[in-house]
A and B are shown apart, each in its own frame.
Chain A
Amino acid sequence: MIEPIDILISFIKVIMAMMWFLILALYLTWLERKESAVMQDRVGANRANIFGFRIIGIFQPFADAIKMFFKEDFTPKFSHKFLHNLAPFLSFYFVLVTIATIPFAGDIKIGEKVIKLQVLDLNIGILFVLAMLSLSVYGVLLSGWASNSRWTLLGGLRGAAQLVSYEVALGLSLVGLVMVYPSLKFSAIVESQGALLFGFLPKWGIVLQPLGFIVFFLAAMAESERVPFDLPEAESEIVGYFTEYSGLKWGLYMFTDFMKVLIIACLLTTLFFGGYQVPWLAADGFHFPWGGEWLMSNGLVVALQVLIFNLKVFFFCWLQILIRWTYPRFRYDQLMDFGWKLLIPLCLINIAITGIVMSFIK
C-alpha cells in the first residue's frame, strides 16, 4: 500500500535530483570555459551581465541558453524529419534518467520517516546506468543516419564503433568492483565503502580496485566523447554526427555531453571514492581510529555527506575538464587499439587478480 506522503516524497526527490543534475550541467559549461581560460593564462567569458553585474561571468550559461533558444532551428530538406528531431531527445533522455540511481547522502530521519536521499534504489543499479548509457548511443546513431549527409554518417559510424567498443571495457572494469562489494546496488556499495580496512583506511573502491578505477576512468572518458576521445564529434573539423543540427537541438547534444561528464563524475565518486562517505563518519558522528569520538545529529551528518559528495563530484568534473583541455586527440586506429588491446586485457587481468586475492582471503 503506497501512502500519498510517499508519492509526494518521491516526487520531490525526482524534482530535486533533476534540478541538481540540470543546473550543475548548465554550470559545467561555465566551469569548462573558465577552467580552460585559467589554464591557458586567459580570463574567459566574463561579459554577460544582469544590470551591469558581471560577477566573473556567472550569467554566461543563461546568455548561452537564450542565444540557443533564438537561433534558427533548421532541419535540412534531405534529412528524415521525424528521426532527425527525435535523436537529440533520445540521447538527452537516456543520460538524464541515470541520475535517479545515484545516492546523494545517507538516510534522513524526519520523525518516524526514514528517507533515502536517492530517487530509485534499484538492486541492479550499476546495470541500469550502464544500459542507459549504452542506449544513448542510439541518439548518436540515429542523428548520424537520419541527417542523411555523409559527414554525419561518418560521425555516427565512428561514434557507434567507439561507444560500443568502450562499453565492453566499461562493463568489465566494474566486474572486479562488484566482486569485492558483492552487490549491484549503489546504496549497498556505498554503505560497504564506509567500513574500514586494517582499522583505519576507508574501504573505498580506489583502495581495493586501483586498476579497475583507472580502466573505468579511461573508458568513461571515452564514453563521454570529449577530447581526447572526440572522434565522433570532431568539433574542430565538423565531421560529427550533429553536423546538420542547429539551435536548440544542437544545444541539447552539447548539454548531453556535459551531463555525461557529470554522471561520470557521480559514478566515479559513488563507485570508487566512497560516494557520500566521509572517512570515519558513521550515521551518528565521527569515530576516529585513534579512539576519539565526535557525535553529531542526523541532520548535520547528512548535510556533511551531501557537501562531501558534491565536492568529490566537483573534483572529478574538474579533472575531466583538465584532461579535455590538455591532450590532443587520438588517431582512430590508436583509439581502437587502446580500447581493445589495452583496456580490455587490463580488465581481464583485474578480474583475475581480484578473484585470486579474494580466494586467499576467504
Chain B
Amino acid sequence: MIKQIGFFIEIVKGSIITARHFWVNLFFHILKLFHIKTKRKGAATIQYPDVRQPIAYRHRSMHRLMKHKDGTPRCVVCMLCVTVCPSECIYVEAAEDPDPEIQKYPSQFIIDLTRCCFCGFCVEACPEDAIRMDTDEIELARYDKEELVFDLDKLLG
C-alpha cells in the first residue's frame, strides 16, 4: 500500500515535470514571438534547411576520386575497396596504363549509392588515397534511382 502511494506520488511528479517544461518553453516561445531576445531558447530544434550546422570534420559524405596532377585518376585498380565494401556496391574495371610504373588505371569505376551504407571502409582500404568521402554533399535524395549510380566521370568531378 505504502509502495503504491509512493508510485502515485512519482506519477504526479512526472506530470508536473512535463507541465513545467511546457510552460517554461511556451514562455520563451512567446517572448520570441514578440522579438524579445533571450539567451535561452524555447526549443533545441535547428530549423534544418533554413539553418545549417557546420558538418563535422570527420564526416562521411558523397565519394570522390582523387586525381594525379595531370588529371588522370589516382586509382590503380587494386580492388581493395571492391573487396572490403560490405554492400558490394563498387564496380571497377581495369585497363592497361601506358606508364609501366602504374600498370593499371580504371576504365570504369561505378559506385551504386542506392546500396552504399556510407561505412567509409573503401576510404580506409585504399592504399593510394584515391577515394575520399569529403565532398560535404549529404543531401543525396533523388527522384530517380538511376541518378544515384555514379560513374567515373561524375566521381572525378
Contacts and interface: CB of A to CB of B under 8 A. Distances in A.
A43 B43 contact: yes
B38 interface: no
B44 A39 contact: no
A38 B15 contact: no
A325 B26 CA distance: 16
Interface string B1-32: 00000000001001100110110011001000
A319 to B, nearest CB: 9
A38 B26 contact: yes
A38 B18 contact: no
Interface residues of A, number: 13
B120 to A, nearest CB: 31
B53 interface: no
Interface in B38-71: 42-45, 47
Nearest to B18: A326
B18 A41 contact: no
A42 B22 CA distance: 10
Given A38-B29, A38-B42, A322-B22, A43 B15 contact: no
Nearest to B14: A326
A314 B119 CA distance: 50
Contacts of B14: 326-327
Interface in A26-48: 35, 37-43
26 contacts: A35-B22, A37-B43, A38-B21, A38-B42, A39-B22, A39-B25, A40-B21, A41-B21, A41-B42, A41-B43, A41-B45, A42-B43, A42-B44, A42-B45, A43-B42, A43-B43, A43-B45, A322-B15, A322-B19, A322-B22, A323-B15, A325-B18, A326-B15, A326-B18, A327-B14, A327-B15
Interface of A: 35, 37-43, 322-323, 325-327
Interface of B: 11, 14-15, 18-19, 21-22, 25-26, 29, 42-45, 47
- Of all A-B residue pairs in the complex, the 4 with the closest CB atoms, nearest first, are A43-B45, A326-B18, A43-B43, A39-B22
